[in-house]
Amino acid sequence: MKNRIKIQFIALFILAISVNAQEKAAPIFKDGEAQIVAAFNDDSKWIRTDLWVETTFDTDGDGKLDRMHVDVTRPAQTESEGLKLPIVYESSPYYAGTAGDTPGLFWDVKHEIGAKEKQRTRVEVERRGKRPIISNSQVKTWVPRGYIVVHSSSPGTGLSDGSPTVGGDNESLAPKAVIDWLNGRAKGFTEREGNEEVKAFWSTGKVGMTGTSYNGTIPLAAATTGVNGLEAIIPVAPNTSYYHYYRSNGLVRSPGGYLGEDIDVLYDFIHSGKEANRAHNNRVTRDTELANGMDRASGDYNDFWAGRDYLNDMKPMKAALLMSHGFNDWNVMPEHSYRIYKRAKEMGIPSQIFYHQNGHGGPPPMKMMNRWFTHYLHGVENNVENDAKAWIVRENDKRDAPTAYADYPNPEAKPVTLHLEAGAPKAGKLSVNNTSKGKETLVDNYSFSGEALAQAEYTNHRLLYLSPILKEDIHISGLTSITIKAASSKPAINLSVWLVSLPWNDGRRVKITDNIITRGWADLQNYKSLTKSKPLKPGKFYEMTFNLQPDDQIIKKGQQIGLMIFSSDNNYTLLPKPGTELTVDLNGTSITIPVVGGKNAFTKATE
């Protein structure tokens, strides 16, 4: 009898343990992806808290280490059941508000190249937002799938201490401190000024970062510190070099849609931090470091810009990299992701790249992101590291249906050099045969947009050279480069180059950017060096070679490929008084296009 009771007790005890184990929530994986778990999907039970993480720097000059404002959103089971989960982390300078469209915030671009500029308007940002929620981004995507989501405000923004530096070291060290805290290596506090500590007892220590634009820059910035625990990053349209964002081959060039913006403008735009620290930050950062370093007069690359180029800081980086960018992103241009992806591959870092045909922003398909984080944060063997290296959304395809390629640029793409035949003020010819001779001249006039110039049948404000009409589709993939031999009638001149497909669409059926294959800008004064410009001797010819933006595009049969050379681009460059002449020596000018199949594919398409 006693033995029977004992056996029944043991059975009940085992049953109780089994039932309890079944009741405990845990991440679920299917086909290599984290699935939505019902127990994690009830947002009314999520635990949302905020805190301040102590950094290793003091950039607001108050004699105390800066603290970053952090929020945490986690499933209730991380508290009630002791569940530990990995983290998806996004950091931003935008969470607490920005300066918006303040009149006079941007530089006035209507002046001669190198001339002294009128001072622009300084602004102060009025902070918005309430504790404990810094942002709601990422939470509905990742918390139900078994992750904890963390946000932080960048230095000098929101309730974070410090000063914005727009690419300075503190913007790399700030997210590093948060990741260190998630791994028990840094201190977190319940209050900005208090001493009561907070521990991340619910963290596995494995962190993935993502975000778009500036929010996509910060994951790369954190990764360049080599911080342990940052396992994977998914930057979307990241600014990877502030020189490449605000300059182009020595030319002062604005990002698309923001004519007259520069690095000090962006500083003012995001500086939403503590009012008591703003005077110090403005004096030390904006009016000294940024003002002395950015050099709007020459546009040259210098130590200031080198210190804000993440390509130069990649040596410690080890986080797996999945990048995303649009080929028609004329704000943060596609070269930003291309250059980092290329270096990461050379370093042996697990890397993939996703490109689409649209503009700024646009993350990879959820399936790609899920597989990436599932493998690198949860440790699930889903073979994602052996997936195709490049994924490109083909023209007119849906964003979630990219085509897989062995790599980017397409390994089958070979350079095809095209030469110029005279035709101004109408269109000349582009040909694989080198019969170029003579010189042609254009007259600068910013009143005409690039779109208008490309469509004009007859104008002396641009030079246009057309390929034969394509008899077959051709696939361009990679970097187009131009070698140009040119002379200016003044000591300085804007140089703008577009590669387009014609005839031009009317804009009603498709975006006008569908006709722009790629484009680039340069300062002929930097023909010898990116770090030292030299005034041009009017009438003297100089030779310069530079790349246009990376692209992957299929140009349909019936189109013509057009090379357009002009001067001031009224959406991007300074706008000097019209009348400067640019003369191009056709014999010393050519363009090299990467074509899948190389010269044979091009000649077959045009013969």
**What per-residue confidence (pLDDT) applies to 193?**
94
Annotation marks residue 329 as catalytic = yes
Q: Are strands 551-555 and 542-547 parallel, antiparallel or unpaired?
A: unpaired
Q: Are 278 and 124 in contact (CB under 8 A)?
A: yes
Domain regions of the chain by residue span: 29-405, 413-606
**What per-residue confidence (pLDDT) applies to 363?**
98
Q: Are 602 and 451 in contact (CB under 8 A)?
A: no
Q: Are 474 and 412 in contact (CB under 8 A)?
A: no
Q: Among 153, 213, 568, 590, which one carries the catalytic annotation?
A: 213
Q: Are 374 and 344 in contact (CB under 8 A)?
A: no
**What per-residue confidence (pLDDT) applies to 3?**
52
CATH 3.40.50.1820 correct for 29-405: yes
Full DSSP string of 412-469: TEEEEEEEEE--TTSEEEEESS----SEEEEE--TTS-HHHHHH-SS-SS-EEEEPPP
Q: What is the CATH number of domain 413-606?
A: 2.60.120.260
Q: Which amino acid is at 359?
A: G
Residue 85: C-alpha distances to residues 75, 182, 246, 455 (Å)? 9, 11, 40, 56
pLDDT tens for each residue of 17-47:
444 445 789 999 999 999 999 999 999 999 9
Of 182, 143, 157, nearest to 69 by C-alpha is: 157
Q: Residue written as tokens 């030079």?
A: 463
Three-state SS letters, 68-102: EEEEEEECCHHHHCCCCEEEEEEEECCCCCCCCCC
State the Cα–Cα distance between residues 521 and 251, nearest whole angstrom: 7
Q: Are 150 and 26 in contact (CB under 8 A)?
A: no
Instruction: Give the chain's residues under pLDDT 50.
Output: 1-2, 5, 7-21, 508-512
Q: Residue written as tokens 């007119």?
A: 396
DSSP 228: T
Q: SS3 for 20?
A: helix
Q: Residue written as tokens 């009438």?
A: 539
State the Cα–Cα distance between residues 384 and 394, nearest whole angstrom: 22
Annotation marks residue 213 as catalytic = yes
170-182 helix and 214-223 helix, angle to the nearest 10 degrees = 70
- The pair of structure tokens assigned to 254 is 């604005």
Annotation marks residue 309 as catalytic = no
Q: Among 69, 325, 336, 360, which one carries the catalytic annotation?
A: 360
Q: Are 215 and 94 in contact (CB under 8 A)?
A: yes
Q: Among 50, 329, 569, 585, which one carries the catalytic annotation?
A: 329
Give start and end residues of each alpha helix (H) in 139-213: 139-142, 170-182
**What per-residue confidence (pLDDT) applies to 510?**
42
Q: How far is CA 332 from the centre of its chain?
A: 5
